[in-house]
Structure 1
Amino acid sequence: MTIALFFTLLLGAVPIALVLALSAMYYIYASGNTVLFDSYPQQLFAAIESYGLLAIPLFMLAGELMNEGGVTRRLIALARLLVGGFRGGLAYINLVANMMMAAIVGSAASQIAIMSRAMVPAMEEEGYERAYSAAITAAGGLLSPIIPPSMLFVLFGVMAQVPIAEMFIAGLLPGLLLGLAFFIVIALVGLVQSYPKGAWPSRTQALHDLLWGLPALAIPAIIIGGILLGIATPTEAAALASLTAWLLGRLLYRDLTLKAMPGVLKRTAVNAGLVIMLIAAAGVFGWVVVYERLPQMAAGWIAALTADPFIFLLLLIGALLLVGMVIDGIAALILVVPILLPIAQNQFGISPYQFGVVVCLTLVLGLLTPPVGAGLFVASSMTGASPLRIFRALLPFLAATLFVLVLLAWQPWLTTALIGR
C-alpha cells in the first residue's frame, strides 16, 4: 500500500520531498509501529546534520554570483579564444564553456539554465538549429555530476562516509573522458551537417579576452586546486569561490551591483532550501527502507542473478536509468545508496568511488530522458525549442554517455587511479 501511495503522489505531480516524507509517515502508520513517529523529526534533522552539506548552498551562491557578475561571459569569451576558429566553433565553445562551468556550478539543472541563456541565442545567430544548440548545452549539463565540484558527489560522500575531496578527485578522469566523447560526437555530427565556419578573434580581441578571462579561471582553480592540494575542504573551497566570484564581479568586472545582491541571495536561498528539504525527506524515507531490511533482501535477489562485478554494474546502470527517468537525482541517490552500496562493497568488492561515479552519472542521465526529463524542460523553457526536438538532437550525446558509463563499469582504475586506491 505504501508503494501504491508513493507512485500515486509521484504521478500526481506532488513535490518529491512531500512524496518521500508522506510515504514514510504512512508506512509508520500502516505498520503499527507508531512509536517510530517519536524519531521522525530526529531522522529529518539527522539527514542534514553534516558539515559537508554546507558546500551545496555555497556552490550555488558561487554560480549565481558568477552569472550576475559577468564571470560566465568572460569564460565563454576565453573558450572562444581556444576553439572558436574551428568549423562549428560555437559548438566547441559551448562544450568548453560547459566544462569550465561544471568545475564551478556543480548542479546539472543550474548549469543547463545558465548556459542556455548564454549560448543558444549566439549559436542561433550564426546559423545553428535551435534544438541542436539547446541539445549541446543540455549535454554539457551531464559534465556537472562528475567534474568537481559536484552536488551529487557531496551527498554521496556524506552518505557513503568517504572523503568528499577524494570523490571529487575520482571524477576528474571520467569527466575528461566524457568531455572527449562529446568532442568526438560534435565532430562526427559536423561531418553530416554543414556547421558554420568558425572565425578566430583578431589579435586585439584575443588579447582583450585573454586578459579579462584569466581572472575568471581563478574560481575553478581555487575549487579544484584547493581540494587537490589539500589546502581547503570542499566546503571551504566553495566559500572561497563565492568570495572570489563576488570580488571579480564587483571590483574587477563591475557588472555585479549592490542592487542585484538581494535577488542573488534570494535565488540561492530558495534553491538551496529546496535541495536541503529534499535531502531531509529522502533521509527519513531511507531510514524506513533500512528499517525494513530492504538492502538484505535486495542482496539476496541480486546474488541469484550474477556474481560478476561488471555485470552487477551493468544491471545497476539499467535500473538507475529507469529510476532517473521518474525520480529527481538527489532523491534517487539517497534512496539507492543505503540499499546498494553495501552490496557493491561487501558482495562484489567494488570501490565506493567507482560505484559513486557510475551511480551519479547514470542518475543525471535520467535528467535528460523522458518521461520526466527535468533537464529537457529546463532547456526548452530557456530556449523555446520543444523538448522532443531537443531529445532527438541529444541522442548521440546520450549514446556517448552510455558508452563512457560502460567503460567506467568495466575499468575501475578510471575512477581510482588518481586517488591511489
Structure 2
Amino acid sequence: MLTSAFFLLIMLVGVPIGACLCLAGIVYILNSGDTVLFQSFPVQMFGGVDSYSLIAIPLFILIGEIMNGGGITKRLVDLALAFIGSVKGGLAYVNILANMLVSSIIGSATAQVAIMSQIMVPEMEKQGYDKTFAAGITVYGGMLGPIIPPSVMFVVYSVLAQVAVGDMLIAGIIPGVVLTVLFFIVIACMGLVYNYPRTEKRTIRQRLHTVLTACPTLLIPIVIVGSILGGFANPTEAAAVGAVAAVLVGRYVTKEFRFAMIPQILLKSAIYSAVVLFLVAAAAVFSWLLIYGKVPQATAAWIQTVAKDPIAFLLLVNLILLVIGTVIDGIPGLIMTVPILLPIATEIYGIDPRHFGVVVVINLVLGLMTPPVGLSFFVASAVTGAKPGKMFIVTLPFFLICCAALVLLSLFPSLSLALLK
C-alpha cells in the first residue's frame, strides 16, 4: 500500500513515469527490508534493454523524422486525395486515408497527430469544414499510427511479452484496416447529417500525375512491411532498410531532404529513443518487483471471481485499460499493465499473447482520445488552436465506434491472428 500510494503521489505531481517506476521500486525494497535486492536493481534495468528487437525503436523513429523532413507526408496526402475523388466529405475521407498511409511509416499516435494537424486542418478549413471537427478527426486518424506497422508500442509489447516483433506488427494490419473502414462509415453517416462539402474535382490526367508523383513514396512502407511479411528480414533489419529508403526517396524523389538535416534528425531521434528505452528499462525493474511481490497472483485471484471465461476477461480488461489510458500515455500504460495482466490472460484464460497485445495497444491508444487527459487532443489543440473538450464532443461518434471495434476484436481473435496462420 505504501508503494502504491507513493507511486500515485509522485505521478500526480508530474514526475516522469520512468522515474516514478524506479523510485517506487526503491520505496518497495526499503519497505520490504530486503535491501539485498538493490544489488539486482541495475542488472534488471540493463536486462530490460538488452534486446536486439529494441534496436527497431530508434530506427522506426528515425524513419518518421526523415519522412517529415523529406516532404514525404505531403505526397502521401496528395495520393489519398487522388484516390478519394469528388465525394461529399471527401477531405474527411482523405484525412483518414492519409493517416493510414502515414501510419505505415511514423508509428506514433502523438507524433502523427502533430504532423497531420499542420497539413490537414488548414486545408479542411479552406474547404468549409469546422476547425474543431477537422482537428478531432485528425486525432482519430492518428490513432492508426500505433496499430498499423511499424509500431513502437508493438515493439515494446513484444519485448515485455517475449513474443516475436514481426508477429505483433503483422497482427496489427487487419485491425488497422477494420478501424479505417469503420471511420469511413462514421464519416458517411455524419456527412448525411451535416452536409459536408465535396472535394474539388480533378481530371483524370491530374489524378494520374498525382499518383505517378506520389507512388515512389510508397516504397518505404512496402520495404518495411513487405520484407517482414515475405520473411526476407526481421523488423530490425526492415527498419534499417526502410531508413535508407526514406533517405533515398526524400533526396532523389521529393528532393526536399538535404544531408545537412541529418545531425538535427539524429539528435531528435536519439532524444525520443532515449525516453522510450529508459521507460523499458524502468519497466523491467517494475515487472521484477511485481513478480517478487506476487502481485500478478493476487490480481489473478480477484479477476477469476469476476470473469468466468476469456471473453468476460477481455471485456473487463477493456474497461480497466480504458480508465488507465485516460490518465497515462500508451507506452507507460503498457509497462504498468502487461506484466500483471498478460500471465493471467495466457495461463488462466488461454488467450493468444499476440491477440491480447492488439487489444491492449488499441485500448491504451484510445485512452489518448479520452478525457480527462486525452493527450492527442491537447497535441492537436496546440497545433490548431481548437479546444480539446469541444473536439471530443464533436467527434464522439468516432469514440463510440472505437469502443465497438474493441468489443469486436475481443470477440473474434481471428481479426488479429488471421495473417499469422
Same fold by TM-score, threshold 0.5 exceeded? yes
Matches of 1:156 and 1:278 in 2, distance apart? 12
Q: Which residue of 2 is the match for residue 114 of structure 1?
A: 115
CA contact (8 A) 2:287 2:339 kept: yes
Aligned to 1:349: 350
Preserved contact between residue 170 and residue 416 of structure 1 (Cα < 8 Å): yes
Aligned mates of 1:373, 1:25 — CA distance in 2: 30
Identical positions, percent: 49
* CA displacement 1:134-164 (0-9 Å, x = unmatched): 1111001221222111111111112222211
> What residue in structure 2 maps to residue 91 of structure 1?
92
Amino acid at match of 1:3: S
Equivalent runs, 1:13-412 vs 2, <5 Å: 13-412=14-413
Q: Distance in 1 between matches of 2:317 and 2:282?
A: 24
Whether the aligned pair in 2 keeps the contact of 1:69 and 1:249 (CA below 8 Å) is: yes
Partner letter of residue 135 of structure 1?
G
Q: Which amino acid aligns with 1:105?
A: I
Which digits, 9 at most, give the CA deviation of each residue in 1:174-199, with x for residues without a partner?
Answer: 11111111000111111111211112
Provide Cα deviations, 1:236-293, integer angstroms capped at 9, x if missing partner: 1111111111111112221012332222122111111111111111221121111101
Moved more, 115-124 or 311-320: 115-124
Q: CA deviation at 1:348?
A: 0.9
CA distance in 1, matches of 2:85, 2:110: 25
**Cα distance between partner residues in 1 of 2:350 and 2:254:** 50
Query: Using the alignment, how far apart are the partners of 2:83 and 2:280 within structure 1?
Result: 39
Runs (4 or more) in structure 1 with deviation over 6 Å come to none
Contact kept? 2:307, 2:316, Cα under 8 Å: no
Measured against aligned partners, the alpha-carbon deviations of 1:53-107 in whole angstroms (never above 9, x if no partner) come to 1111111111111111011111111000001421111111111000011111111
Rounded to whole Å, the distance in 2 between the matches of 1:313 and 1:101 is 30
Contact 1:249 1:255 in 2 (8 A): yes
Equivalent-residue separation in structure 2 for 1:26 and 1:394 (angstroms): 42
- Name the counterpart of 1:417: 418
Task: Tell me the distance in 2 between the aligned counterparts of 1:127 and 1:259.
Answer: 39
Distance across 1 between alignment mates of 2:60 and 2:85: 28
In structure 2, what is the Cα distance between the partners aligned to 1:376 and 1:164?
Answer: 29
Amino acid at match of 1:345: T
Unaligned runs of 5+ in 2: none
> In structure 1, what residue type is equivalent to 2:119?
A
Amino acid at match of 1:408: L
My pick for the range that moved more, 354-363 or 83-92, is 83-92
2:255 maps to amino acid: R
Q: Residue type of the partner of 2:273? A: A
Please give the alpha-carbon distance, in whole angstroms, between the structure 2 residues aligned to 1:25 and 1:302: 28
TM-score by length of 1: 0.97
1:6 Cα deviation after fit: 0.9
Give a deviation string over 1:317-367, Cα, whole Å, max 9, x none.
Answer: 000011111122111212211211111111111111211110010011111
Query: Could you say what secondary structure the match of 1:368 adopts?
Result: coil
CA distance in 2, matches of 1:115, 1:202: 26
- Give the distance between the partners of 1:11 and 1:407, measured in 2 at CA: 34
Quick one: distance in 1 between partners of 2:41 and 2:357? 28
Say which SS state the counterpart of residue 395 (structure 2) adopts.
helix
Paired residues of 2:325 and 2:364 also in contact (CA < 8 A): yes
Whichever residue aligns with residue 225 of structure 1, its letter is: G
8 Å CA contact retained: 1:76, 1:97: yes
Report the alpha carbon displacement of residue 13 of structure 1 after superposing the two structures with TM. 1.2
The answer (yes or no) to whether the contact 1:44–1:281 under 8 Å persists in 2 is yes
Q: Which moved more, 1:96-105 or 1:277-286?
A: 277-286
Q: Secondary structure at the match of 1:304?
A: helix
Provide the C-alpha distance between the structure 1 equivalents of 2:150 and 2:409, rounded to a whole number of angstroms.
Answer: 19
Amino acid at match of 1:356: G
- Report the RMSD for the aligned CA atoms in angstroms: 1.2
Which one-letter code corresponds to 1:192 in the other structure? V
Distance in 2, Cα, partners of 1:61 & 1:214: 21
Q: Which residue type is aligned with residue 80 of structure 1?
A: L
Partners of 1:210 and 1:376 in 2: how far apart? Answer: 32
Q: Residues of 1 paired with 2:32 and 2:8: CA distance?
A: 19
State the Cα distance separating 1:172 from its structure 2 match: 1.4
SS at match of 2:143: helix
The residue type paired with residue 404 of structure 1 is A
Aligned pair count reads 420
Cα-to-partner distance string for 1:191-214 (whole Å, 9 max, x where unaligned): 111211112323343232111111
Alpha-carbon shift at residue 39 of structure 1 (Å):
1.1
